[in-house]
Chain A
Amino acid sequence: MMSNQPKIRIRNLHKAFGSNRVLRGLDLDIEVGESIVVIGGSGMGKSVLIKCILGLLTPEQGSIQVDGVEVVGMKEVEREVMLRQFGMLFQGGALFDSLQVWENVAFGLIQAHGMSRKQAKKVALEKLASVGLDERVAELNPAELSGGMKKRVGLARAIAASPEIIFFDEPTTGLDPIMGSIIDRLIVHSVKELQVTALSITHDIASARRIADRMAMLYEGKIIWDGPVSDIDKVDNPHVDQFINGKAEGPIKMQVRHP
C-alpha cells in the first residue's frame, strides 16, 4: 500500500536560546524524493532547523516525524538507527582532522554499518571518484585540501552510505562562483542518482535555484512561503521578493547602525 505521508513532517516547532526565540511555530512537509531548499537570512534559524531534525538540538515544543515516526524525545539508541538513513554535508566540511580523506568518507560505513576497512575503502574511492577526486587525494589529510575539495569530500561522505535523506548546510558558502556551480551540479547529480530526499539551507539564491525542486522561505521563525522553484519570481510576497532580489529596502529590516 502506498503511503502519502511526507518523508519529514514538522509541526509547530519552537526553539529558543535564552530570550532569542529562533523558531516560533515552524511547519514544513518534505515529500519523498524531492529537493527542497530553505532560504532565509543569517541568524534566521536555518541551521537550527536542521539540527533539531537530526537531534543535535532539542526543541522546546513541536513535532518532527521522519517516515511517520516521532523523533523529538527519541532514545539515543533509536536515534542512531534512524540517523543511518541520513547524510549531511556541513558548511565547513566538518572533516575529521585526524583521519585521511578516504577514512573520512568511509567513517560511517565502518563505524555505523560495520563494513570492513578494506571494503569501505573501496566504496570510499568510488564515492570520491563520483565527486571528481582521485586516489591521490584519498591518502591526504583534510588540512591539505582546498575549500572546494573539502566540500567535495564532505559530499562524498554524505552519500557514502547511500542514505535516503541528505541535508546540505550552506553548500556553496565560501566558494568561488565556478566551484559553487560545480558543487551544485554534483549535489543535483547525487540526489537524482541516489533518488534521495534532500533538504538544503542557503542564502545563495543562485545556488538555491540550481538545486531546488521546491523552495521555502524562513523568516522570524516560521516558513512564510513555500512553493515550486519556478514560482519564486512570481511570488506576491514582499519578504520573498526583497530577499531573492537582494533589495536593501523592504519589510525585512536589518540591524544596521548607519554612521
Chain B
Amino acid sequence: MAILNALTLLGRTFLGFLEATGRLAVFVGKAFSRALQPPIYFRAIGQQMIDIGYYSLPIVGLTAIFAGMVLALQSNIGLARVEAESQIPEIIAFSITRELGPVLAGLMVAGRIGASMAAEIGTMRVTEQIDALVTLATDPFKYLVFPRLLAGIITLPLLVIVADVIGIFGGFVISVQSFGFNPADFISKVWDYLVIDDVIDGMVKGSAFGFIVTLMGCYQGFYSRGGAEGVGRATTNAVVSASILILVFDYFLSSLMFN
C-alpha cells in the first residue's frame, strides 16, 4: 500500500511538472510568436532595459565588490596552505567571470526585478488593467511580457560585465592593501590568465538568467489570482522559482560549457 501511495505521489508530481512546463512553454510561445509583427513597442523595451539594467547597477556593483573582496580573503587562506598565494589574481578572475559574476547578478536581479515584475503585472491582472489592454486592441503578451523578456536577455549580460569588473576590483583592493600585491602585477596576471571564453561564458549564463528572472516575474504575475494575497504569493513564487532555476541552470550551463 505504501509503495502504491509513493508511486501515486511520484506520478502526480511528474504530471504536475509536465503541466507546469507545458504552461510555461505556451506562455513563452505567446510572448515571442508575434514579437516581430508591428507594432513593436520600442518605448516599452527601452523602459524595461533602463529598469532592469541601469537601476540594478548599484545593487549588482555592491554585491560584486564584496564578493571579490571576500574571495581574495578566502583565497589567501586556502592558497596559503599549499603555498600558492601568488595565484590569488587568477583564482579571483576565474571565479568572478565564470561563476560569481553571473550568479550574483542573476540572484540580485531576481530579488529586485523578478519581485517587482510579478507585483506590477499581478496588480494589473487583479485590477483588470490587463483586460483593459485587450479591450484597447493591444496584445498583453506583446506589450507587457515580450519587452521584459527581451530586456532581461539583453541587459543581464551587460550587468555581468559590470559585476566582473567591480568584483575583480574588489579582489584587487584587498590583495594590494592586505597581502602586499604589486598593483601592476595583479592586473597583468588577471589580463594574461583570462581568456575571452571566460567572459563570454559568463555573459551567456547572464543572458539565460535574465530570461529566467523575467519569465518567472511575468508568468507568476500574469496568472496571479485572488487580490492582494494572490499578488503577494505571485511575488514570492517569482523570486523563489527564479532563484532555484538560476542555480539549477547554472549547473547545466557550466556542464555544457566545460564539455
What count of chain B residues pass the 8 Å CB interface test?
A: 18
Partner of A56, one of B120, B129, B131: B131
Tell whether, in the assembled complex, residue A96 and residue B39 are in contact, meaning their CB atoms are under 8 Å apart. no
- Indicate if A243 sits at the interface (CB-CB under 8 A): no
Which residue of chain B is the closest to A91 with respect to CB atoms?
B128
Interface residues on A, range: 20 to 34
- Cα A88 to Cα B136 with chains together (Å): 8
Tell whether, in the assembled complex, residue B134 and residue A111 are in contact, meaning their CB atoms are under 8 Å apart. no
Tell whether, in the assembled complex, residue B138 and residue A94 are in contact, meaning their CB atoms are under 8 Å apart. no
Partner of A86, one of B129, B135, B138: B135
User: With contacts A111-B39, A111-B143, A114-B39 known, is A97 near B138, CB below 8 A?
Assistant: no
> Would you give the 0/1 interface string for B117-157, flagging 1 where the beta carbon is closer than 8 Å to chain A?
00010011001110110111111000100000000000000
Q: Which residues of A contact B120 (CB under 8 A)?
A: 98
Q: Which residues of A contact B41 (CB under 8 A)?
A: 111
Q: Which residues of B contact A51 (CB under 8 A)?
A: 131
Q: Which residues of B contact A112 (CB under 8 A)?
A: 136-138
Whole-angstrom distance from the CB of A53 to the nearest CB of chain B?
10
Partner of B127, one of A92, A107, A108: A92
Most buried by A among B123, B129, B136, B139: B136
Tell whether, in the assembled complex, residue B129 and residue A96 are in contact, meaning their CB atoms are under 8 Å apart. yes
Whole-angstrom distance from the CB of A235 to the nearest CB of chain B?
32
User: With contacts A76-B139, A111-B138, A111-B143 known, is A96 near B132, CB below 8 A?
Assistant: yes
Binding site for A on B (CB under 8 A): 34, 39, 41, 120, 123-124, 127-129, 131-132, 134-139, 143
Top 6 closest pairs, chain A to chain B, by CB? A112-B137, A94-B132, A108-B136, A94-B128, A88-B135, A83-B137
